[in-house]
Amino acid sequence: MVPLLAFLYFGGYPLMVACFAIGIVGLYEFYKGFHAVGSKPNYIVGALFTLALYVMYILGVNDDRAWMLWLVLLIMAGFISCLYKFDERTLYDGMATVIGVIYVVFFSFHVVLIDHTPHSILVWVVVLSAFGSDIVAYFVGSCIGEKKLCPSLSPKKTVEGSIAGVVGGTLFCGLFYYFVSLPYFIDAIIIGFFCAVISQFGDLCASAFKRKMGIKDYGNLIPGHGGILDRFDSVLFTAPVVYYYTVFFVTVGQ
């Protein structure tokens, strides 16, 4: 997974391409999970709206009205797609189609949005908080974890590991920005803390989907991790948090 950090380092179009690829593959995995419970999301609709989102942004069509139009058309298309072979489809298929695009594609798209702000260096918080929390929680939970955090969703997660994960994710962000970009140190600590917390909810939400779908992993693309979503489920939640904090609160360099 380490080579993927190169996309964060270079940013710009390489990072955009990486996010697009993660969105497309992750969307396929998410829809495939729904197939396990008899639902049939429309991947063509999902892929087209994923492409439209990125094309809009590349062309500079990125104001609030454009996003609202994209969202409205997505919802309409998701449900209209149920009319095709109506006897074989249900309204759940339309909802799964829309949820997949918003959850997997639009949430991950916030990484691109962060990269195109004046504070693009904060894109590292997205990964450092999520992966840092995950790594520390795993090791601490394995060593001293006793009290189960949420056994019905993730039997191996512990309260001790969760607390350590929040501390670890915050520490990872703080150390990185202290040595690499000191002016953002305080913001990194604040965002890192909240993202370390929210990343665990992202992980649990992904686990909830898998439990209801009756699958262990979303895929097997990444050895030792599973699918794209199995590795980036926490990032899907941290990316929007970092972006909106950046937009509303960060004042460095302004």
> What is the pLDDT at residue 223?
63
> What is the pLDDT at residue 224?
59
CA distances from 223 to 1, 39, 136, 186, 228 (A): 10, 27, 20, 36, 11
> What is the pLDDT at residue 19?
94
> What is the pLDDT at residue 251?
79
> What is the pLDDT at residue 85?
67
> What is the pLDDT at residue 164?
94
> What is the pLDDT at residue 86?
65
* Residue 150 β-bridge partners: 154
Contacts 24+ apart (CB under 8 A), 75-83: 77/45, 77/48, 77/49, 78/42, 78/45, 81/42, 81/44, 81/45
Domain boundaries, the chain: 1-116, 120-254
> What is the pLDDT at residue 27?
95
> What is the pLDDT at residue 222?
65
CA distances from 135 to 143, 165, 166, 171, 218 (A): 13, 7, 11, 12, 20
Residues of the chain with pLDDT under 70: 1-2, 85-87, 222-225, 253-254
- pLDDT digit string (tens) for 230-239? 888 899 999 9
Q: For residues 74 and 22, give the distance between their C-alpha atoms in angstroms, rounded to a whole number.
A: 19
Q: For residues 171 and 75, give the distance between their C-alpha atoms in angstroms, rounded to a whole number.
A: 40
> What is the pLDDT at residue 37?
86
